[in-house]
Amino acid sequence: MHLQQITGHTRFGGLLGSPVAHSLSPAMHNLSFETLGIDAVYLAFDVGQEKLGETVRVFRDLNTYGFNLTMPDKKKVMEYLDEISEAAGLIGAVNTVVNDNGRLIGHNTDGTGYTESVREQGFDLKGKEVTLLGAGGAARAAAVQMALDGVKALHIVNRRSPSFIEACDLADRISRHTSCRVDVTDLGDESAVRSLLAGSDLLTNATSVGMAPDTDASPIRDPSMLESGLVVSDLIYHPRRTKLMEQAQERGLKTFNGMYMLLWQGAAAFRLWTGREMPVALVRERYFR
């Protein structure tokens, strides 16, 4: 593997979380730095919540360009930052931090990653009606960014579990801070879900139902709910074709998975750190085939 030259001026940043050894982010960002001739490197640091504050202080003091966060650090890090973007505040989590001369500014590019991947599929979110399955971290990021990007109505569908309260809280936050109309429905109420889907332009699955190894599962038990004209998006990308996507394709509907959400959230973070565009085509060719 070719390694870019490290100099006395090389700045560093990276990914904080635990575990992080599996992450594709170092490969994506280091290829981008080298391609654009930027004297910087991106590393992965296995850091849990107990060491997060200390690590953030080091990243601030050493004049890093910033860092990403993954679980379990996305919420905890907010305690150590100087400023938080509107999207990150609404989501209640930060995945990207910019070090602006010692001032740490938190952003969340997960939602941007999703909405950009949707646009890449030729789907314009503005003025549309969306049904979103789930209320976890990925769902929150997607929901907030879709609302900020002009979705007209957002129907959050979640099981009657402890996370249902979180779904209601998310709906209240989005309603108070955007012009998007948001409601919450019990996934177990199939009649209500069928009605929502009949009026929706896009269905987004942000649950883990259908993820490997349980690939025979689908959050939609009755495929007849998937009516003509509906576009179906699944944030799962392992497998690349989920049971939900199979159901939709059998009914002639357009589908796409969440494979490129990681790519576009990384591109958004890269732009925040460098002011330049990630060479997305090259990164896609190298790591997302």
Of 28, 164, 49, 203, the C-alpha closest to 109 is: 28
Residue among 136, 129, 253, 142 at smallest CA distance from 195: 129
Q: Which two tokens stand for residue 9?
A: 């001026």
Active site residues: 74
Helix/strand/coil for 241: coil
Helix segments in 109-204, DSSP class H = 110-120, 137-148, 162-177, 190-198
Torsion-angle region of residue 127: left (phi > 0), alpha (psi -120 to 50) or beta? left
Rounded Cα distance between 54 and 274, Å, is 25
DSSP state of 221: S
d(CA 141, CA 93): 8
The helix or strand, by DSSP H or E, that contains position 99, with its residue range, turns out to be strand 96-100
Residues 251, 273: Cα–Cα separation, whole Å? 43
Burial class (CB within 10 angstroms; exposed 0-12, middle 13-18, buried 19+) of 9: exposed
